[in-house]
Amino acid sequence: MTGRLYGVGLGPGDPELVTVKAARLIAAADVVAFHAAQHGRSVARAVAAPYLRAGQVEELLVYPVTTGTTDHPGGYQGAIDEFYEAAAARLAAHLDAGRDVVVLAEGDPFFYGSYMHMHKRLAHRYPTEVVPGVTSVSGAAAAVGRPLVERDEVLTVLPGTLPAEELAEWLATTDAAAVLKLGRTFGNVREAFDAAGVLDRALYVERASTDRQRTLPLADVDPATVPYFSLALLPSPLTGPVPGSAQHDEAAPRTGEVVVVGLGPGARCWTTPEAAEALAAADDLVGYGPYLDRVPANPRQTRYPSDNRVEAERAAHALDLARSGRRVAVVSSGDPGVFAMAAAVLEVAERPEYAGVPVRVLPGLTAAQAVAARVGAPLGHDFAVVSLSDVRKPWDVVVDRLRHASAADLVLALYNPRSKARPHQLAEAQQVLLEGREPDTVVVVGRDVGGPEESIRITTLGELDPETVDMRCCVVVGSSQTRVSRTGAVYSPRTHEGPRPPREGPPCPPPLASSRRDPAREP
């Protein structure tokens, strides 16, 4: 009978974070093995010390080289491989003699841990069990009091030994990240955060969970003070502002503000980090009810949902809250400056009673951009964006603008195309456009793009059925240049080749009879 090999995780450093199972196995083991640098001091043994007992055999596995140089003929890797083979042989001798061996590992044994090198050399020869431990990443997140990710976000774990350019590429494209193995790599790591444009929200943690723990913004760290047992965190902006970024003074009067935020057209990944950070920092959220429902709930915040037809009242409410010292986020879908709340807030903010209340507008991905991207690049050349709603402008103005945009051969993105209160205006707009454009002009209809009911249809101006369109759609009408490629992609070439010959009839015929609706009925 041979002994049993255990790889036991100790957690990030606090002996109280050692699991109950790990403590029991450490105390029962015949042999306890642990790694150390050439100075012989083992962090792992120090953490496990409360659980060791008298009479146990201790195997100190001293690395021949860590950050220095070596004269080994195989270089650094040769020296390390030879060390692991010798260490495995020492442990195998105990196992062959029937003694159980616990190999201590800081954090988790299979998470950048030294134990894995023993596991690869011994697990196929002896009965083996691995006991997971709290990782350094988990310990660091707890130390700074910041969740790393939520819901469907991605956490990327990176070694600081990667080149700065590669680190920057990862950091610029992930929701959240943890970069381990700092120490001498810190300069490159900091450079990578800066190059990725995320240094301002990065955090630094060393010796998490111990009495020597230190946390501060990554940008403020002196590279000369960074030990190996440290890491850099990039929490998601959705989880809240960086702690310590501003010292809060309870006695100081609060300065409120209104931030008008665009969520993008549907998918959560289309909300920009800047918008997400503003939403997380807000005290109050104001907006149309279905848009507020897209923002993750936070019990610290107060929500004020309202109907879609009370923009001025909603804006005044947000400004009143900000005037009292509250941080208010006014939520829009898409981009708040495109047929949305930004203009409404700025218009109301001109009233004398709101003088001095700061208003910021944060951009968002528009519905037109999202629909265009789904099919290719129909907005690749000049285009115009027109709302078919006649609530805030006469219908004959809409018709006049459609005619002139059509005569200019612009691609058109049509918002608010068809509602219950004005079910036939899209059909009228279609007829207006057919006065100057060919029936085979490419048309794209995107509905609920980025949402659970997304659909995309490619048709033509002559074949477009307005009955299939509603307020959740954005309709893109191509120019004479817009085409469908062999692969099915829709695009408008960047080089204009000249319009088709004009069709018969005046370029701008008289307006159609007005179809204005009662604004009170507008959904």
Return d(Cα 398, Cα 392) in angstroms, integer: 11
Could you please report the per-residue DSSP string of 20-32?
HHHHHHHHH-SEE
Question: What superfamily in CATH does domain 368-521 come from?
Answer: Tetrapyrrole methylase, C-terminal domain (3.30.950.10)
- Count of CB atoms situated within 10 Å of the CB of 78: 12
Of 479, 401, 417, 400, the closest CA to residue 443 belongs to 479
Q: What's residue 514's pLDDT? A: 38
Please enumerate in sequence order all residues whose Cβ is within 8 A of that of 261, keeping only pairs 6 or more positions apart, or say none: 275, 278, 279, 329, 330, 331, 332, 336, 362, 364
Q: What's residue 518's pLDDT? A: 39
Please work out, in degrees rounded to the nearest 5, the angle formed at the alpha carbon of residue 224 by the alpha carbons of 221 and 226: 65
The residue behind tokens 């700061």 is: 358
Return d(Cα 210, Cα 17) in angstroms, integer: 10
Domain segments of the chain: what residues?
5-133, 137-239, 257-362, 368-521
Q: What's residue 15's pLDDT? A: 95
Q: What's residue 304's pLDDT? A: 93
Return d(Cα 183, Cα 230) in angstroms, integer: 7
Q: Parallel, antiparallel, or unpaired: how do β-strands 483-484 and 490-491 relate?
A: antiparallel
Return d(Cα 506, Cα 151) in angstroms, integer: 56
Return d(Cα 357, Cα 325) in angstroms, integer: 9
SS3 at position 330: strand
Both tokens of residue 510? 């008289």
Q: How far is CA 67 from CA 46, 112, 158, in A?
A: 22, 17, 19
Sign of the torsion angle spanned by Cα atoms 209, 210, 211, 214: negative
Please enumerate in sequence order all residues whose Cβ is within 8 A of that of 68, keeping only pairs 6 or more positions apart, or say none: none
Residues comprising the chain, all counted: 523
Does 368-521 match 137-239 at the fold level? yes
Q: Cβ(378)–Cβ(478) under 8 Å?
A: yes
> pLDDT tens, position by position, for the chain (523 residues)?
899 999 999 999 999 999 999 999 999 999 999 998 888 889 999 999 999 999 999 999 998 866 666 777 777 788 889 999 999 999 999 999 999 999 999 999 999 988 999 999 999 999 999 999 999 999 999 999 988 888 888 999 999 999 999 999 999 999 999 999 898 899 999 999 999 999 999 999 999 999 999 999 999 999 999 998 899 999 987 776 544 444 444 444 557 899 999 998 877 888 888 888 888 888 999 999 889 988 888 888 899 998 877 889 999 999 999 998 899 999 998 899 998 899 999 999 999 999 889 999 999 999 999 999 999 999 999 999 999 988 888 999 999 999 999 999 999 999 999 888 788 889 999 999 999 889 999 999 999 888 888 899 999 999 999 999 988 899 999 999 999 999 999 999 988 776 555 444 444 444 444 333 333 333 3
CATH architecture of the domain covering 5-133: 3-Layer(aba) Sandwich (3.40)
Q: Which fold has domain 257-362?
A: Cobalt-precorrin-4 Transmethylase; domain 1 (3.40.1010)
Both tokens of residue 285? 């959220």
352 phi/psi in degrees, rounded to 5: -55, -35
- For residue 310, list its beta bridge partners: none
Q: What's residue 340's pLDDT? A: 87
Q: Classify domain 137-239 by CATH number.
A: 3.30.950.10
**For the stretch 404-426, what's the b/e string if a residue is b when 16 or more beta carbons lie within 10 angstroms of its beta carbon?**
ebbbebbbbbbbbbbbebbeebb
